[in-house]
Structures are given as C-alpha cells and as structure tokens.
Amino acid sequence: MASAAEQLASNLNFSAFAKAEDLKKRIWFTLGALLVYRLGTYIPIPGINPDAFAQAFQQQSGGVLGMFNMFAGGAVERMAIFALGIMPYISASIIMQLMTSVIPTLEQLKKEGEQGRKVINQYTRYGTVLLATVQAYGIAVGLESGTGIVTDPGWFFKLSAVITLVGGTMFLMWLGEQITARGIGNGISLIIFAGIVAGLPSAIGGTLELGRTGALSTAIILAIIVLAIVVIGIIVFFERAQRRLLIQYPKRQVGNRMFQGDTSHLPLKLNTAGVIPPIFASSLLLLPATLAGFSDSTTLPPWANSVLATLGHGQPLYMLLYAGLIGFFAFFYTAIVFNPKDTADQLKKHSGFIPGYRPGERTAEYIDYVLTRITVVGAIYLILVCLLPEFLISATGVPFYLGGTSLLIVVSVTLDTVAQVQGHLIAHQYEGLIKKSKLRGGKRGK
C-alpha cells in the first residue's frame, strides 16, 4: 500500500502549483539570481585585449581550461569577472570535508549540530578566499605572459585582476547560498547547471553545422542523439537507485501503555560520490597537457612529448587512467561523506538495529560491507557513462559539451530540483488539509 505522502504526490497537478504562492516566489527568485549570474559571465575584467585573449584561449581550449570554461558558463573564454566560477568554493568544501575526517577538533565541531556547521562553513569561506586568490594571481601572471593580451602589464593590473576575480567568486558563493535559502534547489549546483546548459545551444548548433558541411554524416548525428537519450536514461536510473537496509525498533513502554515496535529503512545511494569523481579525474588528466601548452614544446624532452601525446583525448592510456581515477575517487569521496561507524552509533543511540546484526561494531561492519559492494557498481556506472561519450568524441570530434560529465551534472541537478519542487507542493497541500480540518472542527464546535 502506498504511503500518504506517495498518494499525495500522485495527486499533484497544475492547480496545486498555481495555489502555492511561496513556491512560485522561490522559483522566480531562483530564475532572477541565475539571470544575474549569466549577465556577470559577459562582463570582462579590466585591462584585457579581448581579441588577443580569444586567440590564446582557442589554443588551450582542449585542456583543463576548456573544462573550467564549461563549468563557468563560458566566462573563461571571455575572461569575465566570474571566470573562476564557483570551483574554488567546491574545492574548499571538499578539502574541509576531508579535514573533518582526519582532524579530531573539526570532527567534533561537525558533531555539535548547527553551531558546529556554522563554524565549518566559515572556515570553508576562508579557504575559498585563499584558493581563489592563488588561482586569480596565477591567471593574472599567465595573462601577462601572453603576447598582447594585457594592455598595461604591471602590479596594478595584477592587483585589479585578483580583486575582481576573487570578488566574483565570493559573490557567486553568496548568490548560491541565497538560492539555497530563498530559492529552490541547491544554489551551488544550479549555478554550475546554468553554466553548462547555457553552452548547450551553441554546442548543438556546432554539431548540426558539421552535419551541414558534410564533416559528420546524418547517421552519426542520429547516433549521437540516441546515445545522449540512452545515457540520460541510465543516469536517471542509477542516480535514483538505492539499497535499503531494514531497521527495526523494539517495543517500548510509556507509562502503562505498550507501543508496538516500528520498522524503517536506511537508504544507501548507489552513487554516493555524485559527480565529484569524474570532475577530479578530468582535472588531473588534463592538467599536464595544459601546463605544457604554456611552454615551448621544442624545449621539452622527447619522453615528455610522447607522454603528452598518449594522454590526449581518445588515447588508450588516457582512457585507462581516466577509468582508474574515477574508480579511486568514487571510493575515496564515499568514505569521506559517509561514515558507517557514525551511522551505527546513531542507530544504537535510538535503539534501532539491523536484524541479524548486533548493534555497534557488527552493524558498522555490515553497513561498510554493503556500501563497498554498491560503490563498486556505482563506480562502474560512472566509468561507463563518462567513457562512452569519450569514445564518441575521439571518433567523430563531437563538442566537449556532449561528454558524460556534463550530462551527469545536468541530469543530477534536474532530478534534485524536481524533487524539491515536489516536496514544496506536498508540504503546501498538507498545510491546506490541516487548515480545512481546523475550519471544520471550529464549525462543529459552534
């Protein structure tokens, strides 16, 4: 039998959405904030020659700059005030999560509830400023080393570029937090989502243009569309997949009354690590080629040139390392964000247990065993989703936007946002039912 929430969710319709004024305000706020973000990706930092930079960027767009440009919504190729995007904040968050698992003081703060989370969030902001400053200074130095990119090189340009880029990242961090608090969905994820989606029309147009000129056949374009639909279906299936562990609670007596024991489930996501593994794997693999691109290839030793050639898109060594790094980060990040021992302790604290396993250490071992097995499946899923488009890119030269990482982010964020919209609608209908029942009760009392 379906639960009350499931029955209510099945009855959701457009009339319910029309009556949910708070939800509509949240959606309009989210759209307005994303519009502000998109406008910021077109405002260049001062002191840049756009034509010279566009030419220099074109030579490096196949490296890590191309991936960052995708996440920044095209702000990197225009060297806009949001060129750093939200990536420094994401990096600082991941570093902080790692530190909370190895530093006892931070681990204790994490367990202190809301107050501890506020302190950790503040540390994350400080880390974001530090990372953004280092990256912004590196970008300023790199821009000055290019021919004709900076109109007036010097310390004034470096200082203005660092302040502008760091300020842009901090504004995006604040904007993401505002979307999360006053809008709908996760603000940081939606900013990345908006950046990727903004580039999809030009990528699709470029693919169709290749078909018009004969560079791509009609059969290949149709195969690309079919593959994209299949990959989206696979992502939806696996992102919603869970392994539910049965949790039982014993009978309890309150006063003279005996309450029957309850049962629930502990949901373990098949892909706990989310989109972090392919992002980190891509960054590590593209970094050597990008760094080498800023130097003269004739000065590099022969072995370095041969290694860089084997690390190109579509090369066997690249595919092998990409798959290995995705698998590694899938397990690594899962171990950071989910601690079986803490989960087992929480179950024991609330008198819950998994049938057949003693509360405490044995329960933690079983949860860890199950989590490890499903993470293997999740890692294989991530590898296949990310490598299949890579084979297509290497064979046909299809734009990077049709890669598995971008599809994974877009579909995952869409699913999460739709789930939150549905949750707001369910809460609104529940509130309406409660108000109606109170009114009926009041009339009967009269």
**pLDDT tens-digit profile of 224-282?**
788 788 888 888 899 888 888 888 877 665 566 665 667 888 888 888 888 888 877 87
CA nearest to 432, candidates 1, 12, 109 = 12
How far apart, in whole angstroms, are the C-alpha atoms of residue 58 and residue 117?
42
- 7 in a structural domain: no
Shared domain for 174 and 250, answered yes or no, is no
**pLDDT tens-digit profile of 319-347?**
888 899 899 989 988 888 888 888 888 88
- 52 in a structural domain: yes
Shared domain for 55 and 104, answered yes or no, is yes
- 70 in a structural domain: yes
Q: What angle in degrees, to the nearest 10, is found between the helix axes of 340-349 and 361-396?
A: 140
How far apart, in whole angstroms, are the C-alpha atoms of residue 239 and residue 411?
9
- 418 in a structural domain: no
Shared domain for 141 and 253, answered yes or no, is no
How far apart, in whole angstroms, are the C-alpha atoms of residue 342 and residue 350?
13
Residue 347, pLDDT score: 83
- The residue out of 169, 199, 229 marking a domain boundary is 199
Residue 8, pLDDT score: 42
- 5 in a structural domain: no
Residue 289 structure tokens: 């080629």
- The residue out of 372, 397, 422 marking a domain boundary is 397
Shared domain for 230 and 344, answered yes or no, is yes
**Residues 79, 82, 85, 88, Cα dihedral to 10°:** 100
Shared domain for 193 and 244, answered yes or no, is no
**55-59, 268-272, 413-417: range with lowest mean pLDDT:** 55-59
User: Mean pLDDT across the stretch 411-437?
Assistant: 75
Local structure of 123: helix, strand or coil: helix
Please, what is the end-to-end C-alpha distance for the chain in angstroms? Answer: 37
What pTM was computed for the model?
0.77
Domain count, the chain: 2
- Residue 11 pLDDT level (bands cut at 50, 70, 90): very low
Shared domain for 193 and 223, answered yes or no, is no
CA–CA–CA angle 148, 152, 153 (5° rounding): 85
**pLDDT tens-digit profile of 138-163?**
888 878 876 778 888 888 888 999 99
**Residue carrying structure tokens 């890692």:** 379
Other Cβ atoms closer than 10 A to 122: 10
Q: Read off the CATH number of the domain in which 253 is found.
A: 1.10.3370.10
Evaluate if residue 124 carries a pLDDT over 60. yes
User: Mean pLDDT across the stretch 308-329?
Assistant: 79
Evaluate if residue 445 carries a pLDDT over 80. no
Distances, alpha carbon 212 to alpha carbons 174, 284, 401, 404, 423, in Å: 44, 36, 19, 25, 45
- Residue 405 pLDDT level (bands cut at 50, 70, 90): confident
Contact call for residues 153 and 142 (beta carbons, < 8 A): no
Range of the domain at 282: 217-397
Shared domain for 246 and 177, answered yes or no, is no
Task: Show contacts of 392-396: CB within 8 Å, 24+ apart.
Answer: 392/224, 392/227, 393/313, 393/314, 394/313, 394/314, 394/315, 395/314, 396/216, 396/220, 396/224
Burial of residue 285 (CB within 10 Å: 0-12, 13-18, 19+) is buried
Contact call for residues 51 and 43 (beta carbons, < 8 A): no
Q: Cα-flanking dihedrals φ and ψ of residue 330, to 5°?
A: -60, -45
Task: Show contacts of 210-218: CB within 8 Å, 24+ apart.
Answer: 210/397, 215/397, 216/396, 216/398
Shared domain for 165 and 292, answered yes or no, is no
Shared domain for 55 and 166, answered yes or no, is yes
**Residue carrying structure tokens 């959405």:** 17
Q: What angle in degrees, to the nearest 10, is found between the helix axes of 218-240 and 404-445?
A: 50
- 404 in a structural domain: no
CA nearest to 247, candidates 229, 233, 217, 267 = 267
- Residue 37 pLDDT level (bands cut at 50, 70, 90): very high
Evaluate if residue 86 carries a pLDDT over 90. no
- Residue 65 pLDDT level (bands cut at 50, 70, 90): low
Average pLDDT of the chain, as a whole number: 78
Shared domain for 332 and 194, answered yes or no, is no
Distances, alpha carbon 59 to alpha carbons 85, 226, 275, 291, 297, in Å: 21, 31, 27, 12, 13
Evaluate if residue 393 carries a pLDDT over 70. no
Provide Rg for the chain, Cα atoms. 25
**pLDDT tens-digit profile of 95-108?**
887 788 778 887 78
CA–CA–CA angle 317, 323, 326 (5° rounding): 135
Evaluate if residue 46 carries a pLDDT over 70. yes
Q: In DSSP terms, which residues pair with 257 in a beta bridge? A: 254
Q: Cα-flanking dihedrals φ and ψ of residue 79, to 5°?
A: 45, 55
Which amino acid, residue 365?
E
Residue 61, pLDDT score: 59
- Residue 350 pLDDT level (bands cut at 50, 70, 90): confident
- Residue 208 pLDDT level (bands cut at 50, 70, 90): confident
- The residue out of 143, 166, 199 marking a domain boundary is 199
Shared domain for 26 and 118, answered yes or no, is yes
Shared domain for 174 and 252, answered yes or no, is no
- 254 in a structural domain: yes
Evaluate if residue 3 carries a pLDDT over 50. no
Residue 346, pLDDT score: 84
Q: Cα-flanking dihedrals φ and ψ of residue 243, to 5°?
A: -110, 110
- 98 in a structural domain: yes
